[in-house]
Homo-oligomer: A and B are copies of this chain.
């Protein structure tokens, strides 16, 4: 099935690609904790953050997670994580539900400020290698937190700390101070074709 000529061409092409990649990698020398932003309207922003948590714990790193919005990860799932990863993972669910569910700006703001205080405490605690601020962008978007404050905290963070901030509509000030920004774009969504949200996948 694989012709020799094709095989040779492929090998040459891949060798070139590898050489280019190796050259890029050799130039990378600085080691420091990253500020990572997951934004966009697509799925996967929080999920990818939890995947990063899993990966970090796989390296024996300690992870702190603050949930700025309730509901993304339910009590049962958090309980399971705490049971199995309690030695490596601390989760604080301090949000009040999505703003369109709550309709009370004042209480939302209080909850956001409380969550931000908890996140800052984790950032200052050298025990944590990675701090995830899940859905913090929602709180920023609705003016429940001061963007300049949060951006400054990212600039001032310990150099050995990774921070992940998730949620759609990441403000420009945050993107400016981030090292790595990924936008999740929805290309196709099952809701459009009448499929109900799925336990274990959607919630």
Q: Chain A: residues with CB nearer than 8 A to chain B?
A: 1-2, 6-7, 10-11, 14-15, 17-18, 21, 24-25, 27-34, 36-40, 42-44, 46-52, 54-59, 61, 73-74, 76-78, 80-81, 84-85, 99-106, 109, 129-130, 142, 162, 175, 178-191, 193-201
The one of B49, B78, B194, B198 that contacts A29, using a Cβ cutoff of 8 Å: B194
Instruction: Tell me which residues across on chain B come within 8 A of A44, comparing CB atoms.
Output: 38, 44, 48, 51, 182, 184
Q: Looking across the interface, which residue of chain B has its beta carbon closest to that of A193?
A: B179
Question: 10 A-B Cβ contacts within 8 A?
Answer: A21-B100, A31-B195, A31-B196, A32-B195, A44-B182, A51-B51, A51-B54, A54-B54, A162-B198, A182-B184
Instruction: Tell me which residues across on chain B come within 8 A of A129, comparing CB atoms.
Output: 200
CB-based contact A201/B76 at 8 Å: no
The one of B40, B50, B59 that contacts A185, using a Cβ cutoff of 8 Å: B40
The one of B49, B85, B99, B197 that contacts A84, using a Cβ cutoff of 8 Å: B85
CB-based contact B201/A28 at 8 Å: no
Question: How many copies of the polypeptide does the oligomer hold?
Answer: 2
CB-based contact A181/B188 at 8 Å: yes
Instruction: Tell me which residues across on chain B come within 8 A of A181, comparing CB atoms.
Output: 186-188
CB-based contact B195/A28 at 8 Å: yes
Kindly state the separation between the CA atoms of A2 and B142 in the bound complex, as whole angstroms: 12
CB-based contact A197/B47 at 8 Å: no
